[in-house]
Amino acid sequence: MQRIRLRYTKRGRLRFTSHRDFQRAFERALRRAEVPMAYSAGFTPHPKVSYANAAPTGTGSEAEYLEIALTAPRDPEKLRALLDESMPAGLDIVDAVESHTSGLADRLTASVWELRLNGVEPAEAERAAGLFRAAETVEVQRRTKNGMRTFDAREAVVSLAVVTDDEVITHDTDRPSDKPCAILRLVVRHVTPAVRPDDVLSGLRAVADLAPPVPAAVTRLAQGLFDEETGTVTDPLAPDREAVTAAEPTAAVPAAAKAPAPEGPR
């Protein structure tokens, strides 16, 4: 059984698709592309697809991940292209690698988010971010299936800062550009309970009375392992690429070993 790991996006208006909507679209793409999927056992077999840490509905993303299991080998890049052609524009399959390591979900320990605050001056956003960073705890509330829950939104936040126009990474083109707009870059650890961008916005409102006049446009730029030394979030598919590169020269060794040794003088 071959396993392929894929990275996909949610861009533009497709950020409003739910995780279940994406699942249906992806399974249709698998059938259109005639992917030789492995299926689960039991009375209702379903394709073996593992989703990891999907973004909330309403947020865009450049870094969503899943893994599929195949019954016959396929070239990862060719498979990626076939699936991307079968998906709606905005739900794009942008990367693929054959799985050679375990624990993809374990490598998703932090996310980088971009928050576009239309109608907010950058100086005001910087003031609010400074107050948030200076606070030891920032308690916010979120409604759950068991009622309202209060938790600390500050502890999980590694960094929070206003970025300049040159540093912006976004595919959101349906927002007005004739008004002030502050853009925040946010790095959040994946903890329990999860701290979402909306929770950080609630925290900014609590500590600095920052309330954007329109809902923020939120995009996940990356997710992966958090590097404590550099303060960056690393590519979770990198170990699989490195495993492929390391295996290539090793594969040539057995062939060389089979070459007949030259005969000596008789």
Q: What is the pLDDT of residue 169?
A: 63
Ranges of residues in the chain whose predicted pLDDT is under 70: 166-177, 247-266
Q: What is the CATH topology of the domain spanning 108-227?
A: Alpha-Beta Plaits (3.30.70)
Q: What is the pLDDT of residue 253?
A: 46
Q: What is the pLDDT of residue 182?
A: 95
Position 229, amino acid: E
> Identical fold at 2-106 and 108-227?
yes
Q: What is the pLDDT of residue 231?
A: 87
Q: What is the pLDDT of residue 168?
A: 67
Position 166, amino acid: D
Q: What is the pLDDT of residue 176?
A: 52
CATH class of 2-106: alpha beta
Q: What is the pLDDT of residue 245?
A: 79
Q: What is the pLDDT of residue 166?
A: 63
Q: What is the pLDDT of residue 59?
A: 95
Cis ω on the peptide bond leading into residue 262 (within 30° of 0)?
no
Q: What is the pLDDT of residue 86?
A: 96
pTM, two decimals, is 0.86
Give the tens place of pLDDT for each residue, 5-29.
999 999 999 999 999 999 999 999 9
Q: What is the pLDDT of residue 172?
A: 52
The domain segmentation of the chain, as residue ranges, is: 2-106, 108-227
